[in-house]
Structure 1
Amino acid sequence: MGFFGSCWEVLLQFMSMSPFSGPGRPQYPLPLGPSHDLTVHPHHASPGFHCSYPGYEDWESCNGPDSRDCWIQRRGAKQPLWNTFNIETDYEAMWPRGIKREYWLEVSDMKIAPDGYLKPLGKVFNGSYPGPLIEACWGDEIIVHVTNKLTTNGTTVHWHGIRQLHSNEMDGVNGVTQCPIAEDETFTYKFTASQYGHTWYHSHYSLQYPDGVAGPLLIHGPSSADWDEAWDPILISDWVHDSAFAVFQKELCLPGAKCTPPTSQSILLNGTGHYLCNETDPRCVCPQTNPDCVGPSSYFTKTFQKGKRYLLRLINASTDAGYIFSIDGHTLKVISTDFVPIHPYTTNSLHIAIGQRYSVIVEAAEPDTPAQDGNYWIRTEVPSGCGSIDLPGSNEKTGIIRYDSDSTAFPSSTKNPFPSNCTDEPYESLKPIVEWLVQPPENNVTTNTYEVGFDNDKAHGGFRRWDMTNTPLWLNFSNPTILNLKNTTWNPEYCVIPYDYKHGWVYLVITGNLTRLGEAKVIPAAHPIHIHGHDFVILAQSNKTYDESTDPQHFNFHNPPRRDVAFLPAAGYLALAFKPDNPGVWLVHCHIAWHASSGLALQILERQEDILSSIGTLSKTRDTCDGWEEWLETTKVPFDQDDSGI
């Protein structure tokens, strides 16, 4: 093995006894004698919130305005490798031990008007859209009790981007990892915040999240650049005024028919929108043309203080739209992609696909020629090919930055110059701090290459539906995949792909061409592809047709971009790789909600024989299924599944 190999082996043994958790079940140190919790006060957390680390009595906080890259460290230690949790810590291998954080969510029907136009069939968490902020610290155990008060739907909650190591049953996808939570029933989700950063939680029951069942999740930890003030996560979302379940019917198209895809009516920033409607329309509860209207129809507004550095945590929580985010006259320093800290880079605009998250730092330094009254537009432009938004009398102006909090003037600022195209951020800009070196694949990449396109789904109405395998995904809510772990064969409609590799790397290539149907038919649409249970690397991303014989020669294996959502370019391909180190049933799907409900998804069955031992028990999962079955039998509301289920 050699000297360095032997030393590394000794180091690993030492780390197994230190306050770190490893890639297996976490191992934590026991306090020796009298001890106290290490307390960390994250800057701009909720009032009274602090981080607590039991048993770390000889550790201290090292996070401050000029040291955001550090989190906690052992006092007086000279070797940071095993004495510091910071931006260079590989959080897939080690994390600090925090405390339990307990939250309660209730899903209910509610009439809402976030953009001033009444949505009679909204659905929300705890009576608000977005739902309440769920806040934790790096290494905490998060416990969320979810009660369903919907009278006509079940529900589930997915914790977007959370790794769910040894907690696959908590991933929150009905038909995959659980049955829906029945009316008046409660399911308790428990998982470890081994990552840090911000994300969102949302229903994964059919089309509930476009109706409002979504909220922010923030896990405090280090950052790859310094900042002074931080904002709570900002959900950017397109918004439909009618029930998303009804709007989805436009997505269902019979072959040969002329169909108009669904469109949204406005864009919201953190549940605040600005929709111009006819005052005579009874659903126009706060018309934009009314100068005295100060209700929900307004602009998202924040104040900058000159000289300060602001951390903005952005989330695309849309149904259909990708955005180019910008602030007139200001630059953005990008420091993370999804849950992955990256080497900072600057830009004057930021492409954000559905499900993606970015942390950016904006320095509040007005330009030499400031806008009138120090007011600047926040813009969320939808480029062509990235969604369909109907904005009568408006445009991409969705928020205002003010340097004078007393100002009420509309900005006269001009838009930053940038190209308007439907794409991801530049590949070469996304450089993770913690480097990964990708090895050759364990799997057969040819058989694990998939084409996105349309299929005539004769089994379910004969509609033209999106798919990724030979059939659109179609799940049975009452029979989730996770309760069938002894299966040796699967219903083709479940789109189950087994990966039984215990080490190395698995490659997955997704293309935008229907070559498997022998047609060379191109569907000109970009798709944000999300994988549950993993961060993946992007080996390649191209708008050209995939050539298996030549393109892999150009894959990037040294520290490629890493995240959990990436664009499949229209008519191009996306080559991904991940480590098969997380036994479970994991969904891979397009995050355009219309497409996911149409069937554009597959399931990764990772290390099937290890899943149950990794989880420990499925008793609560079975109890939820029993409650769902009882509800189906006793409810007077007919259950009519018309989509994939996700």
Structure 2
Amino acid sequence: MQLYASLFLLGLFNNVRGVTVTQAVPPGPTQHITLDIVNGPVSPDGFTRIGVLANGTFPGPPLVATKGQTLVVQVNNKLTNDTMRLSTSIDFDGVFQTSDNIFNEGSPFVTQCPFGPGESYTYTIPLDPAQAGSFWYHSQLSVQYADGLRGTLIIYDPDDPLQDLYDVDDASTVLTVADWWHNTSTSGLASYLQTQIIPVADDGLFNARGRYNGGPEVEYAAVPVTSGKRYRFRLINISARSDFVVSIDNHTMTVIEADGVEVHPHTVNVLDIFAGQRYSFIVHANQPVANYWINAQINGGNPAHNLNLNVRPRINRAPRAEPTTPMTEGPTGADALPLNEWELVPIVPMPAPEPDFNLTFNTFMPVGITEWEINNISYISPSVPTLVRVLNGEIQPDDFNVTENTFLFPANKTVQVTIIDAANEGHPFHLHGMNFWVVKSNGSDIINTVNPIRRDVDVTGTGTNILRFRTDKPGPWFFHCHIFYHFAVGLGSVIGAGFDEVGKIVHPTEAWERLCPNYDALPASEQ
């Protein structure tokens, strides 16, 4: 299926260069945010269903901050619909975490217990003073965020070294692509466990709008721009499964950020963005004033499993003057200038340190069993979070069940992970709390240790990926596939960094310590 949205080049004003426009961020060192997690109706493509929503919207309210601020996010669980998960926990994807605050990291059964209906938890997150860029938040419990609990988080840098390259960077330039299901995530997961077939999304959404075959002609999202202006678009894939191939008719995209890492300007005309990934790119509205398609082609699964994805949406009427040009798949063949990850160069150079340890991940799905494995082990969450057990003194390899897939390393070392994806599934592997160096990208034979791209989501394929990261943040850190249906059936692991140091550094709050007893006391129907 191809999903398309409209990019309007309005040409309403003269071509005047001005001060960079950025989203207004509340002043002060601390931002207080309240997220009420509720069940409510949602219909981004005209099909109404009940979702799991932050403050009643999909996506959830956009969060904005300035680097170095502290986010205090109070999450109130007001869920009532027992056809979906009633407990929850929130992860702030890509945001650097420190060891002393790892208990606010948000990973169920790794760094915390979830919390049930009627309960609240407040995440206090001091933002790294050196980190800015495009991020997002979502439920980390099972596949709950497929029901709608996901939203954007932008950390602005008042001293952005690349700000002279663009004129506008505000709420209107934050773009999302997302897959969407008309059924609940719990029913989808049950179907997956029974059939080994991941539920195919009923629709793909661009800025929370889309159409599905046989459905109403929902108005596509439009992105107004002014002729002559240069726009920093922040594209975030908030999907639970799918990747999107994105292009803009008659325009190029100059990539300047990948997963919060600023890179030297790199111009392409088509890019593939996978679940959990983020890119900033500059678009110059320098073409004749007209309406142009943004092409966002959704990939993920066999369309034969769902006829809604087997037919390209038809356009009849144009309530907002949709482009009269035909929809396409964007540049192909010799006309395509694709984004190749290994060509991205961080503007702040950081060589990849030599590894002290080498680890190989072989990903595999056994025939006839709905589970994914890393090195013949399918990850199963423990009943007691890893962090709780480490604080209780369980720090030896024999203390962890083999199904926890926990790898222990000393503090302040470098680990190299080689990922082999023999099935060519395209797993977007995500590391919590920190970035890794991508020494070798899938699709390239180049080994780059001088200044490789650093990011927190990297995609596998027919070749190998080589990643390196430091264990200078003691604690348990989730490392898993961001296709959450894969993650839910085992494609995950825990990196144990310097466990013998954790007790000296981590001092959780009483509120955190109450999470597990409260969760354990819940009936199974509310967990």
Q: TM-score, normalised by structure 1?
A: 0.71
| Matching residue of 1:608 | 499
Alignment of 1:329-368 (within 5 A): 329-367=250-288
Q: 1:419 deviation in Å?
A: 4.9
Q: Contact between 1:507 and 1:577, CA under 8 Å: does it hold in 2?
A: yes
Amino acid at match of 1:529: F
Question: Which of the numbers 433, 436, 445 marks the counterpart of 1:533?
Answer: 433
- 1:67-122 per-residue CA deviation (whole Å, 9 max, x = no partner) reads xxxxxxxxxxxxxxxxxxxxxxxxxxxxxxxx0111011111112111101223x1
Structure 2 vs 1, CA of residues 266 and 108 (structure 1 numbering), >3 Å: closer, same or farther? same
Q: 1:262 deviation in Å?
A: 1.5
Unaligned runs of 5+ in 1: 1-40, 53-98, 279-286, 289-296, 457-461, 514-522, 545-550, 640-646
Unaligned runs of 5+ in 2: 1-18
| Matching residue of 1:395 | 312
1:622 is aligned to 2:513 = yes
Moved more, 332-341 or 358-367: 358-367
- 1:116-135 per-residue CA deviation (whole Å, 9 max, x = no partner) reads 01223x11000100100111
| Matching residue of 2:458 | 566
| Matching residue of 1:599 | 490
| Matching residue of 2:169 | 230
Structure 2 Cα separation of the partners of residues 455 and 148 of structure 1: 37
Structure 2 Cα separation of the partners of residues 397 and 350 of structure 1: 24
- 1:430-467 per-residue CA deviation (whole Å, 9 max, x = no partner) reads 10011111232111x1xx111001247xxxxx833012
Structure 1 Cα separation of the partners of residues 167 and 113 of structure 2: 44
Q: Contact between 1:178 and 1:625, CA under 8 Å: does it hold in 2?
A: yes
- 1:391-421 per-residue CA deviation (whole Å, 9 max, x = no partner) reads 45853899xxx9xxx952444166442359x
Partner SS state of residue 387, structure 2? helix
Q: Contact between 2:247 and 2:331, CA under 8 Å: does it hold in 1?
A: no
Question: Which of the numbers 20, 23, 33 marks the counterpart of 1:103?
Answer: 33
Amino acid at match of 1:614: I
Partner SS state of residue 582, structure 1? coil
Structure 2 vs 1, CA of residues 319 and 223 (structure 1 numbering), >3 Å: closer, same or farther? farther
Question: Which of the numbers 458, 464, 483 marks the counterpart of 2:388?
Answer: 483
Q: Contact between 1:137 and 1:196, CA under 8 Å: does it hold in 2?
A: yes
Structure 2 vs 1, CA of residues 277 and 407 (structure 1 numbering), >3 Å: closer, same or farther? closer
Q: Contact between 1:376 and 1:413, CA under 8 Å: does it hold in 2?
A: no
Structure 2 Cα separation of the partners of residues 384 and 479 of structure 1: 34
Q: Contact between 2:178 and 2:237, CA under 8 Å: does it hold in 1?
A: yes
Q: 1:245 deviation in Å?
A: 1.5
Amino acid at match of 2:140: H
Structure 1 Cα separation of the partners of residues 463 and 307 of structure 2: 27
Q: 1:603 deviation in Å?
A: 0.3
Partner SS state of residue 264, structure 1? coil
Structure 2 Cα separation of the partners of residues 186 and 534 of structure 1: 26
Question: Which of the numbers 510, 525, 528 marks the counterpart of 2:419?
Answer: 510
Question: Which of the numbers 406, 415, 418 marks the counterpart of 2:332?
Answer: 418
Question: Which of the numbers 556, 579, 585 marks the counterpart of 2:470?
Answer: 579
Q: 1:150 deviation in Å?
A: 1.6
Q: Contact between 2:20 and 2:166, CA under 8 Å: does it hold in 1?
A: no
| Matching residue of 1:454 | 365
Count of residue pairs brought into register by the alignment: 487
Question: Which of the numbers 397, 402, 410 marks the counterpart of 1:492?
Answer: 402
| Matching residue of 1:157 | 90
Structure 1 Cα separation of the partners of residues 76 and 242 of structure 2: 30
| Matching residue of 1:466 | 372
Alignment of 1:46-125 (within 5 A): 46=24, 49-52=25-28, 99-120=29-50, 122-125=51-54
Structure 2 Cα separation of the partners of residues 595 and 188 of structure 1: 29
Structure 1 Cα separation of the partners of residues 306 and 479 of structure 2: 26
Structure 2 Cα separation of the partners of residues 385 and 108 of structure 1: 30
Q: Contact between 1:469 and 1:495, CA under 8 Å: does it hold in 2?
A: no
Alignment of 1:117-266 (within 5 A): 117-120=47-50, 122-151=51-80, 152=82, 153-166=86-99, 167-194=101-128, 195-221=131-157, 222-225=160-163, 226-232=165-171, 233-253=174-194, 259-266=196-203
Structure 2 Cα separation of the partners of residues 428 and 451 of structure 1: 22
Structure 2 vs 1, CA of residues 320 and 397 (structure 1 numbering), >3 Å: closer, same or farther? farther
Amino acid at match of 1:247: G
Alignment of 1:236-385 (within 5 A): 236-253=177-194, 259-277=196-214, 287-288=216-217, 297-367=218-288, 374-383=290-299
- 1:602-644 per-residue CA deviation (whole Å, 9 max, x = no partner) reads 0001110222333323533221112212323xx7x375xxxxx
Partner SS state of residue 484, structure 1? helix
Q: Contact between 1:506 and 1:579, CA under 8 Å: does it hold in 2?
A: yes
Structure 1 Cα separation of the partners of residues 332 and 497 of structure 2: 41
Amino acid at match of 1:556: N
Q: Contact between 2:342 and 2:441, CA under 8 Å: does it hold in 1?
A: no
Q: Contact between 1:251 and 1:598, CA under 8 Å: does it hold in 2?
A: no
Moved more, 572-581 or 596-605: 572-581
Identity of aligned residues (%): 29
- 1:520-556 per-residue CA deviation (whole Å, 9 max, x = no partner) reads xxx2311111011111111112359xxxxxx8xx632
Structure 2 Cα separation of the partners of residues 424 and 147 of structure 1: 42
Structure 2 Cα separation of the partners of residues 393 and 604 of structure 1: 40
Structure 2 Cα separation of the partners of residues 586 and 389 of structure 1: 36
1:434 is aligned to 2:375 = no
Structure 2 vs 1, CA of residues 389 and 238 (structure 1 numbering), >3 Å: closer, same or farther? farther
Q: 1:385 deviation in Å?
A: 6.9
Partner SS state of residue 311, structure 1? strand
- 1:456-490 per-residue CA deviation (whole Å, 9 max, x = no partner) reads 7xxxxx833012133211113x4111100021220
Q: 1:182 deviation in Å?
A: 1.4
Structure 2 vs 1, CA of residues 177 and 230 (structure 1 numbering), >3 Å: closer, same or farther? same
- 1:202-245 per-residue CA deviation (whole Å, 9 max, x = no partner) reads 00011111110001111111152521112432221011110011
Q: 1:390 deviation in Å?
A: 5.4
Amino acid at match of 1:500: P
- 1:156-186 per-residue CA deviation (whole Å, 9 max, x = no partner) reads 0000001111321111111111001111111
Q: CA RMSD in A?
A: 2.8
Structure 1 Cα separation of the partners of residues 320 and 389 of structure 2: 60
Structure 2 vs 1, CA of residues 584 and 419 (structure 1 numbering), >3 Å: closer, same or farther? farther
Higher relative contact order (CA 8 A, sep 6+): 2
Amino acid at match of 1:262: P
Structure 1 Cα separation of the partners of residues 345 and 220 of structure 2: 34
Amino acid at match of 2:138: H
| Matching residue of 2:8 | none
Which protein is bigger by CA-based radius of gyration?
1
Partner SS state of residue 345, structure 1? strand
Structure 2 Cα separation of the partners of residues 150 and 206 of structure 1: 16
Structure 2 vs 1, CA of residues 250 and 475 (structure 1 numbering), >3 Å: closer, same or farther? same
Structure 1 Cα separation of the partners of residues 244 and 20 of structure 2: 30
